[in-house]
Amino acid sequence: MPPTDSNQSGWFSTKRIETIFLVILLLTSFLSAFCAYQANRWNGVQSAKYQEASTLRTESVRAFNDANTRLIIDLNVFLTWADAVNRNDSDRARAVASRFTPEFKPAFAAWIARDPGGLQGTTPNGTPFSLPEYHLSARDLGTRLEENATAAFTEAQHASDIGTSYILTTLICAIVLFLCGVGEEWANPRLRIVILGTAIVFFGIAAAMLAMLPKIIF
């Protein structure tokens, strides 16, 4: 007659198995709660970063619109100057040139320097707008804000991936808790050992995932 649960000894004794189940149950409960806490914290990081990315992108669009407005102003004033030059109206051309914006003046000077001995009523080839000296600070600001928005969005996606991993770890912990609950109630000793082994495997997977994931402690 095979031994019963009450008279087993060694590593497979009823008391030892129940003790192991209890230890795994306690550790898994703590691990599950910690994973749920981490998932909530990383979801908070995700929301904050998505909000930051949205704000930065809005500011970037505003900066680019400002740059386009300044470009249109510079273009209109430049066309007025070019019209005065074509009409040989030097006084009007000088008056218009005095109204150039500080950001346009360096490009205009570099453009004029290309043909310093040009004929009256003519202009150098091309336009000042194609020269590297034409530099709009609003456009640079828009580019920086766009880059920061992209970086914040990437961080939000990374936080989302981490939060999802913590949720997956919590689900694995739920499997371990279920196995511990079933295993403690099962009468067949061999089946209890199989359930215990399975619970230990899943607990090891959950613990390994937790060890590899970044954590927010405070």
Whether the predicted model's global pTM rises above the 0.95 cut = no
| Mean pLDDT taken over the chain | 88
pLDDT digits (tens, 9 = 90+) for 51-83: 999 999 999 999 999 999 999 999 999 999 998
List helix spans (H) across 87-136: 90-97, 105-112
First to last CA, the chain: 58
Query: Which DSSP string corresponds to 145-159?
Result: HHHHHHHHHHHHHHH
CA distance 70 to 93: 20
Distance CA 173, CA 203 (A): 7
Evaluate whether 170 touches 37 at the Cβ level (below 8 Å): no
The helix (run of H) or strand (run of E) holding residue 50 is helix 14-86
Helices 137-185 and 14-86 pack at an angle, to 10 degrees, of: 170
Q: For residues 217 and 214, what is the distance between their CA atoms, to the nearest angstrom?
A: 10
Mean pLDDT value across residues 14-18: 81
